[in-house]
Chains A and B, each alone.
Chain A
Amino acid sequence: MNLRRAESRWFWCFAGPALVGFGAFNLWPMLYSLGLSFCRYEVVAPPQFIGWQNYAYLFGHDPSFWPSVRVTLVFTAVQVPLALGAALALALLLHQPVRGRGFWRAVYFLPSILPQAVFAVVFSFIFQADGGLLNQGLALAGIQGAAWTTSPTWALPVLILVSLWGFGYPMVIFLGGLQNVPRELYEAAHMDGAGAWARFRHITLPLISPVIFFNGVMGVIGALKVFDLAYAFSLAQGQMTPGGPARATLFYGLNLYQQAFGYFHMGLASALAWLLFAFILLLTVINFRLSRRWVHYGD
């Protein structure tokens, strides 16, 4: 009994700082921002309760809310499947006996750990309408390139493309998953006359379904909170308010930042924060429900 008491005392000593941090930097702000979301709070005056008005304004009148939702959902719906598809394809290639595997893995992985702000800036330069590397290359082929970064049509596709340079991260996770698939299974299936596709479909896919699920969940959350890339991209274009041209790259996180720290509509921005949180929570619950049908956790 004394041992147990001592153990629990040590537990609170050792885990204490992390638990205090959890309370102070996660739990408390979460609850507090729920309260703020029902207030008018524009920094100069203390928060003032206004009921559901912030939410009503967002859904009914705010000119930037729905565009930001659209941009974010389009980005998520296009970027996540592309990135995961490329990551899985590359992981399958590298899982074969390949010479210099470590080298290839390093090359594909490296861009995913570099600052997104740098990628936004470098690609702004490459995609410049006038004198950018891409358009000069196209000109050599006799094609007149578009004004990629300043066109409302192209700006979002450009950002989707740029973000694909980060697919090395899920690729490495896939590789880890593939390594855990026992070789004997393939050999047994081969003996039974299963072709390459059948082996992929009935052995590889089910056995790596947990990593597919993990990458999917993390990919979607990552896509929903895009900020650095979009903000740096806007500033590299010299835009006065980020998210342009014509709100074409106004990501949800960018809109939230702009409401909170550009216009000091902190109450409204708190409502945005809670909607994002509720959406992620909902998505996670649905994901875990659905995952029971297709994710196989072996023991």
Chain B
Amino acid sequence: MHRRPPLATVCLYAVLGVGACVMLAPLAWMLLTSLKTYPEILRHPPAWLPADPQWGNYHRVLAGFAYYRFFLNSVFVAVMVIAGTVLTCCPAAYAFAYYDVRHKELIFGALLSTLMLPAQVTVIPLFKAFAAIHWVNTYLPLIVPAWLGGNVFGIFLLRQFFRTIPRSFIEAARLDGASEWAILWRLVVPMSRPAVLTVVVFTFLWSWNDLFNPLVYLQNEELVTLPVGLLYFIARAEQLTGGSIGQVPWHLVMTLATVMVAPVIVLFAVVQRRFVEGVAATGVKG
């Protein structure tokens, strides 16, 4: 194509660089604050770098205040939700990709329309029902929907991918006498590994980041997941740390926030492509 004038190139990288710094600044400040002492966060003007990085803050929050438990709660819920999503979304996507049934497109459209339905619209009857069967204050309201194909986006994404597999592969397997179940798990899913991984990654994100559902359904403090735990910590910080009223120990709050963010960043670093392709895929067919 055409060459860019040098001045434009300088401007381009300047804009990108400044923008990137702005995007990352809050995260950098969170990390730096998490390594400071309390007097350091009160200092005017602020100390940019901690004089002596307080890695002990992490030990204090996780072990001292037993926050490792909220971490494990979050991990447990995420694992169960991911397992249920993969186990039920793959067959559903297979059904919508390969079987011809009357009104299939209509059913699929109804399923997809739930993507536009905010959780707030359905939460009250669900809470009433879950309370009636004594599921409130357990993880079941968070997990069971995932085991019933609750991730409609996942079904959509998998179906798109499954459709690109040539039908002749499946016909051949059928002629060989493979059962539909075997074709799904031994042929289609292994061939669709990128799409399945994308679904796993996004399911993890939704479960890990979700504040609304745990807030509604979990009342016992030992049960809550990290986002709720973070807010509890701020509300109770004075009691926990023995500080005076109104003085939030922000260094420890930021420690906890970092603990929450770290797994997401690590995952992103490892499988960045899955994120980007998953997002782009939603738009292309939109």
Residues of A within 8 A of B (CB): 4, 7-8, 10-11, 13-15, 17-22, 24-26, 28-30, 32-33, 36, 90, 93-94, 96-98, 102, 104-111, 113-119, 121-123, 125-126, 131, 133, 136, 139-140, 165, 168-169, 172-177, 180, 187, 190, 210-211, 213-215, 221, 224-225, 227-228, 231-232, 235-236, 238, 253, 256-257, 260-261, 266, 269-270, 273-274, 276-277, 280, 284
* Contacting pair B91 A126 (CB below 8 A): no
Chain A residues near B155 (CB-CB < 8 A): 18
- Complex CA gap A257/B119 in Å reads 11
Interchain Cβ contacts under 8 Å between A and B, 26 examples:
A7-B101, A8-B99, A14-B180, A18-B88, A25-B148, A29-B122, A30-B117, A30-B121, A30-B122, A97-B1, A97-B4, A98-B12, A107-B24, A113-B268, A113-B275, A117-B231, A118-B257, A121-B230, A139-B45, A173-B286, A177-B283, A177-B284, A235-B235, A236-B231, A257-B212, A260-B124
Chain B residues near A17 (CB-CB < 8 A): 88, 91-92, 147-149
Q: How many residues of B contact A (CB 8 A)?
A: 92
Complex partner residue of B96 from A15, A110, A214, CB under 8 angstroms: A15
The 6 closest A-B pairs by CB, nearest first: A18-B149, A21-B148, A176-B280, A173-B283, A214-B286, A14-B95
Chain A residues near B257 (CB-CB < 8 A): 118, 121-122
Q: Identify the closest chain A residue to B268 (Cβ).
A: A110
Chain B residues near A36 (CB-CB < 8 A): 124-125
Residues of B within 8 A of A (CB): 1-2, 4, 12, 15-16, 19-20, 23-24, 26-27, 29-30, 33, 41-42, 44-46, 88-89, 91-92, 94-96, 99-101, 104, 107, 110-111, 114, 116-129, 145, 147-150, 152, 155, 180, 184, 205, 208-212, 215-216, 227, 230-231, 234-235, 246, 248, 250, 253-254, 257, 260-261, 264-265, 268, 272, 275-276, 279-284, 286
Helix, strand, loop or mixed for chain B's interface? helix
Complex partner residue of A225 from B89, B118, B152, B246, CB under 8 angstroms: B118
* Contacting pair A18 B92 (CB below 8 A): yes
Chain B residues near A110 (CB-CB < 8 A): 23-24, 265, 268
Chain B residues near A13 (CB-CB < 8 A): 91, 95
Q: Identify the closest chain A residue to B210 (Cβ).
A: A228
* Contacting pair A21 B283 (CB below 8 A): no
* Contacting pair B235 A18 (CB below 8 A): no
